[in-house]
Structure 1
């Protein structure tokens, strides 16, 4: 062994011997019992407060430099092709037409209408029609003929208008007659002819503070084949002006009427002055005040008739529902022509004037929707010389019967309208009348009527029209015996169809009195039963 190894071995042996020479350690345990008192050491506080530094913000100063450089561009012009205009801008209106047709009861119809259209300075037109029927018995034959011409001239200051018409109507007094009479067709024939003339002028104002006016002149000559003649001349005018933002209107008129035969002559003169003023309150309420006055003179005497007039209206909902009430009155001139227009079978002429002394009315009207409107009204009037009609067994015609006392007349009227552009129209009107008379009954007149009209345009090719008319039973009277009769209720249904076969060619078919009810509108004068009329229409 070398000296290094001997030294290491000797050291390890010495350490081992020393460890074994130690005594064994004692394991004594001690318990210490004492109250626990926690103590906290003093906290070292920071004596300085925070003082954050506020940053300094400065808006930067910007300098812009625009280069002085000019851009040169060459314009490019494109030619735009115009839309097709020419005659396509305003297509020609085919308002002119010619109608030709035929029906049972040997009924031809010829009708024509020609009118100038789209003229800025003038307008004129003409209408002509012939309709007749010749049943087998020939006593119910009739003929209606008319031709109307009119014209308008548009000026910078106003408009001139004029019209002339001629009508010729033939009927027969085919009322009940005993076989023993055996009257000829010429004896029963009644023929009426009338010429009507009208001319007038109305100014155009651009400033509502100016006076607006119009003036009209009317004249007609009415004759029959029994030597009855009537000439009527009337001059009317209206002047209106806004005062305080509300309209003041005055209607003026002068009317002369002469009825004559070979044995007598009856003259009437009427001068009317009817002013009214309408006050608007917040565009919701309206008050109208005025009066109707007539100076009347005839072959017997003269008299002034005065009627107060007033109306108040309030829009319950703006521009849709309006409630109204008012009073009025007027003098109605009866003429031979007006009586014939209502009852063409007049054979005994009684002429009187109807005095509507006082009338109260109230109601509500408005719109239910954009295409639907309605009206509901009640009126109560006191009328003197109300006219009715009875059958005269001597002349076999109709006679006017007047209730010469102050009669009472009340009326309830309801109306409903609905339309959708030119595609659909509907109208319904109902009337209920109640009479308080000195005579036993309102001879010839109903107490309840309805009228319904329907129009439908199907694709501009087919047009359907329909209407229905109803009337309750009435009381008729035969004079001079004064025997009364009951006239049955009336239901009259009609249907019309038009078909556009070509661009300018159309076909039509009218079916009248579909129920074949030969009712008597006037006593002893039954109407035709079911009848049809069809033909062709040319437009140009």
Structure 2
């Protein structure tokens, strides 16, 4: 009780003091108080000019009429799961771990697919691809394909099979990749010669078998040791045809590069050991290559200087030393770069590559490697924004032993390989190469290439079956998430064939003539409709113009053909 009285007393004294102070602050100091009278307390007069009117600036006015509707927005019922757990806060900051993102399209991004289709010309298509997926440190897969067709001419048939297994393993310091597979291609010498086709002829079958394997070791990028890079690769194949021709090859190659401030020191080295066996001969074709270089590189430029040492060992051994230099300069960074260079090299000629270009080869093909004595090129490349990329290049080449296909004199349906020597009078090829890629929208992509070449030969009259103009274009359109369209256009310019009248029995020197092979256009189109995320139907139409053009003399191609079927993703 005493405590409460004391508190009330002190509170009264403090309040009275504050009131006295406030009152003292309102004393008119302009008047002198009378000593005989009590000090007067007056309040200054305040003159009000106008009433206070709150005015908002234009910037804060709301220029919308209020909505008078009495519609209540939906208010979801929220449930909270509060963890009744004591949180342990460590004293230090721990290392943040990378969180794996969930795939945005798990229903479409699949690793495996199977395809089955049929079409005219007795076409049967089967294909399967299996992959382990997007694992962090390893990947493995298997693929197999079969395509068979049969045309209207006797022996006009094609059969192709591919099968392979591949894998990749990412280690801490390097990555290992490997592949082993088998390719088979079968056809027949169905060459159509109008002057003699009345005779009953059963074309012989031709089959190419190609068993191959490859492996590669590649150094991974290391921020602590990014100034050294290297790789090592090995390739081998066993190739054969239906007439006892065999080609065995083993090649090993690698490179080493060391970065020292603004320039790189490095070298490429390779050895290709090949043996060719035919009915009438056996030949070694070995090529060893060493290419040391020094490269100066900055933010907007790159200059490489070096040499290319190539040693050949076959019927006759020869050694070549070529200069090697190229540059690249950003004229407008990220939009335009100019490039150019000069180099020389030896290109291996093999039964394998010849058969891929022309499967109607004769027996006992002679093998000579092609030599680029001088190869000069210059051009520009870049992009105009994110939707248009381009590249244009001019080139000039001086060549020795350029391989050419010609019809055999005894059997025009088979092709021999001859070589334009280009020693006394240099064989040269000059031309232009261009490439563009346009993304019209998020769903439309268009690409195109053009090759223009001019040939000047030393021993042959024409560059047999080699066109001066080649133009190709492709497009892909995603109409929706279920419908996809593709298209391809290929133009091959006029070519020349070394012609010999098959009805004349020539004696002594054979008087060859030139037969012009017309230019042709090949147009292909395809469509796919995805029924579900796993199942879809497709159709592929080839040679829409139904032009049985001839890429090689006496060998017309299939006309309009279409393949349709089902595909399954899993």
Q: TM-score range by the shorter chain?
A: 0.7 to 0.9
Residue 526 in structure 1 maps to residue 566 in structure 2: no
In the aligned structure 1, how far is the partner of 2:115 from the partner of 2:331?
48
CA 1:228/1:456 → structure 2, altered by over 3 Å: closer, same or farther? same
Partner of 2:48: none
1:482 CA displacement: 2.1
- Mapped to 1, the partners of 2:513 and 2:106 lie a distance apart of 64
Equivalent residue in structure 2 for 1:429, among 446, 449, 452: 449
Unaligned runs of 5+ in 1: 1-76
> Which of the pair is proportionally richer in strand?
1
Aligned twin of 2:337: 322
The one of 437, 451, 469 aligned to 1:417 = 437
1:120 to 123, 136, 141: 136
Describe how 1:144-159 pairs up with structure 2 within 5 A: 144-159=160-175
Asked if 1:455 is matched to 2:455, the reply is: no
- Give the drift of 1:203: 2.1
Aligned to 2:354, the other structure's residue is in SS state helix
8 Å contact 2:153–2:190 — kept in the other structure?
A: no
Match of 1:194?
A: 210
> How far 1:472 moved relative to its partner?
1.6
Q: What is aligned with 2:486?
A: 465
CA distance in 1, matches of 2:289, 2:154: 46
Alignment-derived partner of residue 272 in structure 2? 255
- Which region of structure 1 is more displaced relative to structure 2, 361-370 or 415-424? 415-424
Please give the per-residue CA displacement for 1:137-189, whole angstroms capped at 9, x wherever unaligned. 4411110111121011111121111100101110111113424753324xx21
Matching of residue 440 in structure 1 with residue 461 in structure 2: yes
Residue-by-residue CA offset, 1:450-476 (whole Å, 9 max, x unaligned): 001111112221111101011221111
C-alpha deviations, 1:301-328, integer Å up to 9, x for none?
Answer: 2221111011122211112200122111
What is the TM-score of this pair, normalised by structure 1? 0.81
Given that 2:239 and 2:352 are in contact with CA atoms closer than 8 Å, whether structure 1 keeps it comes out as: yes
Query: What is the rounded CA distance, in whole Å, between the counterparts of 1:118 and 1:380 in structure 2?
Result: 44
Against the structure 1 CA distance between its residues 226 and 78, is the aligned structure 2 distance closer, same or farther, given a 3 Å change threshold? Answer: closer
Mapped to 2, the partners of 1:366 and 1:88 lie a distance apart of 32
Q: For the residues of structure 1 that align with 2:494 and 2:241, how far apart are their CA atoms?
A: 32
C-alpha separation in 2, matches of 1:314 and 1:211: 24
- The answer (yes or no) to whether the contact 2:154–2:202 under 8 Å persists in 1 is no
What is the aligned partner in structure 1 of residue 296 from structure 2?
A: 279
After TM superposition, give the deviation of residue 388 of structure 1 in Å: 1.8
Instruction: List aligned pairs for 1:218-233, cutoff 5 A.
Output: 218-233=235-250
1:432 positional shift:
0.7
Q: Which runs of 5+ in 2 are unaligned?
A: 1-79, 85-99, 501-509
* CA distance in 1 between partners of 2:309 and 2:393 (Å): 25
Structure 2 counterpart of 1:79 = 82
1:305 is matched with which residue? 320
Distance 2:307 2:216 in 1: 25
Change (3 A) 1:280 1:199: closer
Compared CA separation, residues 104 and 156, structure 1 to 2 (3 A): same
Change (3 A) 1:117 1:484: same
SS of residue paired to 2:410: coil
The number of equivalent residue pairs is: 457
SS of the residue corresponding to residue 461 of structure 2 reads: coil
On the 8 A contact 1:208/1:242 being kept in 2, the answer is no
> 1:374: Cα distance to partner?
0.4
Within 5 Å, give how 1:63-78 maps onto structure 2.
none
Q: Does 1:509 align with 2:539?
A: yes
Q: Which runs of 4+ in 1 moved over 6 A?
A: 85-90
Distance 1:137 1:88, change over 3 A: closer
SS at match of 1:307: strand
Deviations 1:18-38 (A, max 9, x none): xxxxxxxxxxxxxxxxxxxxx
**SS of the residue aligned with 1:346?**
coil
Q: For each residue in 1:385-431, what CA deviation from the matched residue of structure 2 results, as whole angstroms up to 9, or x when unmatched?
A: 11222222523212222111120100111111123687322111111
1:225-244 → structure 2 map (5 Å cutoff): 225-244=242-261
Q: Which residue of 1 aligns with 2:528?
A: 498
Q: Matched residues in 2 for 1:89 and 1:447: separation?
A: 47
**C-alpha distance in 2, partners of 1:180/1:147?**
40
> Is residue 2:360 matched to residue 1:339?
no
Q: Where does residue 179 of structure 2 map in the other structure?
A: 163
1:237-276 CA-to-partner distances (Å, cap 9, x unmatched) read: 1111112233333111111000102431000111111122
1:89-123: per-residue Cα shift (whole Å, max 9, x none)? 88364121110000100100001111111212210
Change (3 A) 1:399 1:422: farther
The answer to whether the 8 Å contact 1:375/1:416 transfers is: yes
Could you say what the CA RMSD is over the residues aligned between the two structures, in angstroms? 2.1
